[in-house]
Structure 1
């Protein structure tokens, strides 16, 4: 009986090892994707673009959501180091806190490519994003043309510390510098629709006379639009950034004046193309830009 049980246990162990080997050595390479948040249509589209192109090229994608928490992002990167991924696509919550995440990957000899937002330290193979400075400038030029370079302007900023916030703000602020605009308020709403609504309500109460709003993403723009509509300020020009489905529909209906199209699906596809080159032993550029365009009615 002991001999019989020993044979059974040996057989089960051998089978388990074979299953483990076959799943590990099945030839499918894995891409680890850390997303800042999936509670935002832009990043949902970014993920969809990555998954679509990965499927076409035969890669498996392991997706982890940081839920806009830098500590969670670090934990996600630690998880990926033991999940047999071959490369990491990192969409940071915050450009400074992302340094820790990148260094964890560096210490595990795991290549990192940042997407949409940069990491301010650590060794990164490449950064793939739209030119956010150019996008901010595009929004500024649009409002200058529409308002003849005059009026009271509000700017809603994204998450403090993110490269997207810094770059979009830089492009817009430099774009309006030589205009006759009066920047009456510049406040953060963390790229969030509900916060965009609340912050805009407070600005309306304190400032009153507003001609235009530039929101550094569409979620904040849509929140601001609701606040302005409730205050019966329907003539205020609102420009967003990202060209999410809700924002494009708002532009079509005349509720928003414009949105800068960042094309997250294309960013995702471009990121996977870069991964493919890296895993094939090719060198890629330090920065790979993705085309922007302005969506108007």
Structure 2
């Protein structure tokens, strides 16, 4: 199990007594995977904010494994944490982890992906439904309202997968001239995006556009499209990672729906800090999205 304990940083000028008090406040971040630039950036945002506020942040990587996620939560709870931040691997499976924390009266805050069970004090995420719809509307406009489209989905069961797909389908189904010829999971993974796209290109002729539910899958799909000489296919990703935005700037992707993963991490720690202080927090904290194109 990969574990990382991030040291507390106390701001200059804080007295020893205050520093020792702050040290007692432990926040755990159980993250779906650190093998994805988006979640690495989210973790970095949380780390930076924890250091600024004087909290100890414990980070545990679930490796996209729900059983490992539950083990990580149990490990974190054994360390006498004050708040649990969790970025679920699967919105249904994470319910067991949330209920485990509930049983020990540890407040739970979900990041990026929601939990379909247990009690959560706050959920911090982008509006993934709106983002998926924005991607669909962009593709429709680029294709002039006509064409064949495929979708690469994320991890089955993740709320981000479900919500991005819901928004995308809302846009696509409203356009009479657009045909969704295939939708298939590639688990938010670049290499799987490449393999799935290669298979789809063999099965379907005349694909005009691809919506990948994250930039990693989009970048994998881009390699498959390039190898097949189909660089004119409209390719849209999601997340706005550094690699994704660079691909847009280089003309390899038409667009990406940019999230703010660092901000999600920051807001998670800020919300945890308020919970620790006994302050009220919002049940849902939206983080704005932006369509990024060369223009």
Report the alpha carbon displacement of residue 25 of structure 1 after superposing the two structures with TM: 6.8
1:221 corresponds in structure 2 to 218
- Work out which of the residue numbers 130, 138, 143 in structure 1 matches 2:126: 130
Whether the 8 Å CA contact 2:22–2:55 is kept in 1: the answer is: no
Mapping for residues 40-189 of structure 1, pairs under 5 Å: 40-179=36-175, 180-189=177-186
Query: Structure 2 CA distance, aligned partners of 1:40 and 1:105?
Result: 26
Aligned CA RMSD, in angstroms, stands at 1.2
Query: Structure 1 CA distance, aligned partners of 2:258 and 2:53?
Result: 26
Whether the 8 Å CA contact 1:95–1:118 is kept in 2: the answer is: yes
Report the alpha carbon displacement of residue 250 of structure 1 after superposing the two structures with TM: 0.3
Whether the 8 Å CA contact 1:30–1:86 is kept in 2: the answer is: yes
Give TM-score scaled by structure 2 length. Answer: 0.91
Query: Structure 2 CA distance, aligned partners of 1:25 and 1:217?
Result: 41
Mapping for residues 200-239 of structure 1, pairs under 5 Å: 200-239=197-236
Report the alpha carbon displacement of residue 28 of structure 1 after superposing the two structures with TM: 3.6
Query: Structure 2 CA distance, aligned partners of 1:255 and 1:230?
Result: 12
Query: Structure 1 CA distance, aligned partners of 2:234 and 2:171?
Result: 17
Gaps of at least 5 residues in structure 2 are 1-18
Query: Structure 2 CA distance, aligned partners of 1:87 and 1:268?
Result: 14
- Work out which of the residue numbers 245, 251, 257 in structure 2 matches 1:260: 257
How many residue pairs end up in the alignment? 275
Partner-residue secondary structure (3-state), 1:92: coil
Query: Structure 1 CA distance, aligned partners of 2:183 and 2:213?
Result: 11
Whether the 8 Å CA contact 2:172–2:180 is kept in 1: the answer is: no
Gaps of at least 5 residues in structure 1 are 1-22
Structure 1 segments of 4+ aligned residues over 2 angstroms from their partners: 23-28
Query: Structure 2 CA distance, aligned partners of 1:27 and 1:218?
Result: 37
- Larger Rg, first or second structure (1 or 2): 1
Instruction: Answer 1 or 2: which has greater helix percent.
Output: 1
